[in-house]
Amino acid sequence: MIKLLKYLNAKECLFLFITLAFLVVQVWCNITIPDYTLKISEYLSMPDISLYWQDIVWTCVQMLFFVAGVLISSFLAQLLASIVVSGLLARIRSKIFEKVNSFSSTEINKFSIPSLITRSTNDITQLQQVYTTTLTLGLTAPLTAIFAIIKIVGLSRDYGAGNLSLVNVVSVLLLVIVITIIILLALPKFKKIQTGTDKLNMVTRENLTGLKVVRAVGAEKEQEEKFEKVNSKFAKLEFFVDKVLMLIDPSLSFVMQGTSLAIVWIVGLLAGQNPQLLLVLSAFTQYSVFIIMSFTFLSMLFMFVPRGIVSAKRINEILKTEIVLKDGNNSFDKKEQGTIEFKNVSFKYPDADEKVLENISFSIKQGQTVAFIGSTGSGKSTLINLIPRFYDCFEGEVLVDGVNVKDYTQHDLHNLIGYVPQKGVLFSGSIESNLKYGKENATDEEIKNVINISQSNFVYDLPDGLHYKVSQGGKNVSGGQKQRLSIARAIIKDPEILIFDDSFSALDYKTDKTVRKNLNKAYKDTTKVIVAQRIGTIMNADQIIVLDQGKMVGIGKHKQLLKTCQIYKEIALSQFSEEELSK
């Protein structure tokens, strides 16, 4: 928690010190009020009150002044504390978002998406409550207790009532015992609650993402049982913590009422010998309440802080995570353009035992169209993900324009590449804003051109055309439309290399053929890398690379591979007859 305070800016640091000053004023005003209660009691005990009426009124005015001081200083302290905490956590939230955006798939898989969402939302909320509570109660509670104890000791000495101080000592000891028991019972559960929140998010997200599949296979009951298992475990944790925390209020009431009763009883016993004790009864009771309330607030603080520490650790885990894919320094002179080369590349996922790719070597020249094909799980998508450096290879080198991809900054490397994933991804906003993700300052003519090349002319038939509002995830357009718009977004930046990760799978054969024809015509000098399952999509490629279980088992053109690569021939025959292939 303390480490995160380094994100405070200068203005917030100033506000923080002003807040602490207002809190000190609040405590001082609050602890001074009983003094005036005592003064009024003394005046009221005089034989002729009318002689002191002016003094009583003036004392009341002074008392009201301190009451106003409590209200004003408390309000300003709370206001400034909110400004400081809100600004700090907004900055931390931005840091988390920025850091997560820099994560490679390795770091994302390490945390999981549901956990990252929880840490960016629920943990930040927990931290906000803790910081606000700590900033206010963390200073006022101990100061109030200390000042109240000093006042009680002084009154006990002045009026000869040491037994009254003993009552407060016993009360504090009882509160400390109860608070310690509560903390020991509740503290271990806080981390489990946050982890349980991660699991709830994961199950909920999985169910919502696969809702159509769940309904199609009639698995609603299974999903409900899965959720209920996680939910009931989480509910039991929350219920246990709530039961423990519920002990605070009755314990406070018991100690407070018991203390007041003990003070009245002791004053009643000693009043015959020392009538002046009746004058300090009200002030003494007020100071006792201050002490008990202070320790109660501290107990609340002890409840909040452990939960905040857990959340802070989870946030720090993100902020301190070392990025696996570090930027190069661009200290090189490029002598090539649009070329790709793999030199003895092997790859395995973190913590995996077996390699996904093994000893892959090939080269692609500028303007060539190179395709990758193979059975499911053969490593096609993994291989092309090494080009934009979504992962780093385990062995060997991946070169773009004759330079190792590790020597580029990721920003500069990605500027050379247009990438289209298999599942078209659109963001909430307009179609135009989605296309401009590829090129922010794209002109209307450039947008019109890429729409035509990608066969995305359907946008002009939509309400508002290019300004048509796309829902989150592009749920209000079809899969084929998303793929075509994703292609348009990739080509609008006019990259040196275009990567299509099975990006034509949702298109019909006619549209597929037209889009590829347009791409070849408009971007003939652009290197095109295609992963596909359709033979018809890749049969005219300059070079086809066949993968099987992470190894290259064939390389060449379509007709050549039909003769030399059995796996390629089997894939081809599963889609075309021998007569069609022989043409």
Give the sheet arrangement for strand 403-404, strand by strand.
357-364, 340-347, 395-400, 403-404
Contact 138, 301 (CB under 8 A): yes
Task: Name the nearest CA neighbour of 82 among 26, 25, 128.
Answer: 128
DSSP 321: P
Alpha helix stretches (DSSP H) within 338-478: 380-385, 410-415, 431-435, 444-453
**Degrees, nearest 5: CA angle 519-521-525:** 85
* Cα 268 to Cα 32: distance, rounded to the nearest angstrom: 25
SS3 call for 396: strand
Q: Provide the residue-wise pLDDT of the chain in tens; the chain has 583 residues.
A: 677 778 888 888 899 899 999 999 998 998 888 877 777 776 666 667 666 678 778 888 888 999 999 999 999 998 998 898 888 888 888 888 888 888 877 788 778 777 888 888 888 888 888 888 888 888 888 888 888 888 877 777 766 665 666 777 777 788 778 777 777 777 777 767 767 777 777 777 777 767 766 676 677 777 777 888 888 888 888 788 777 777 777 777 777 777 777 777 776 666 556 556 666 667 777 777 888 778 777 777 776 777 778 788 888 888 888 887 888 887 777 778 999 999 999 998 877 778 889 999 999 999 999 999 988 888 888 899 999 988 888 889 999 999 999 989 888 899 999 998 888 788 888 899 989 888 888 898 999 999 999 999 988 888 888 898 988 777 788 888 888 999 999 999 889 999 998 888 888 888 888 998 999 899 989 999 999 888 888 888 999 999 988 899 999 998 899 889 999 888 888 888 777 776 6
* Cα 61 to Cα 91: distance, rounded to the nearest angstrom: 45
Q: Domains, the chain, ranges and CATH?
A: 3-319 (1.20.1560.10), 331-416+499-583 (3.40.50.300), 423-494 (3.40.50.300)
Predicted TM-score of the model (pTM): 0.70
Contacts of 463 (CB under 8 A, 6+ apart): none
* Cα 168 to Cα 291: distance, rounded to the nearest angstrom: 8
CB atoms within 10 A of CB 212: 8
* Cα 495 to Cα 419: distance, rounded to the nearest angstrom: 9
* Cα 277 to Cα 282: distance, rounded to the nearest angstrom: 10
Contacts of 37 (CB under 8 A, 6+ apart): 63, 282, 283, 286
Question: Going by DSSP bridges, is the β-strand pair 369-374/543-548 parallel, antiparallel, or unpaired?
Answer: parallel
* Cα 452 to Cα 189: distance, rounded to the nearest angstrom: 58
Alpha helix stretches (DSSP H) within 160-271: 162-209, 211-216, 220-245, 248-270
* Cα 142 to Cα 291: distance, rounded to the nearest angstrom: 9
SS3 call for 470: strand
Tell the residue number behind the tokens 């909110």, with chain if given.
Answer: 82
